[in-house]
Amino acid sequence: MDQPRQRPHKDFPCRTVERLPFYLKRFLFFVISYIVAPSASLLLLIHWKSLRPQTRDARLIVSTLFLLLFLVDFFPRGWYQNTMLAFTLTVGLFVTFIG
């Protein structure tokens, strides 16, 4: 079971389409990450080996950014929280434009 489950693409028989569980689809995973970021990271880790590298990288970026934003709320109010929020947004923008 090392290879991801795939099926042929209907328009391009030589291509394959990755079959993902419904909660790992692009939009639903974004919503899960937005609402409960730690759960999204856990779902990603559970299905880590069954995902293609492109899918894995995209979901990892989204879940990491939302997890960092989630964790910023636990820092004390004031300059430290603002610094961490600025750092998180900077890393997010950097990773988004580099990737």
What is the rounded distance in angstroms from the CA atom of residue 25 to the CA atom of residue 58? 11
Check: pTM over 0.85? Answer yes or no: no
Q: What is the pLDDT of residues 45-82, one digit of tens each?
A: 999 999 988 888 889 888 888 888 888 888 778 888 88
Is residue 30 scored above 80 in pLDDT? yes
Interhelix angle 53-72/37-46, nearest 10 degrees: 150
Name residue, tokens 């391009």. 12
Torsion, Cα of 60, 62, 63, 68 (10° steps): 120
Asked whether the predicted pLDDT for residue 98 surpasses 80, the reply is no
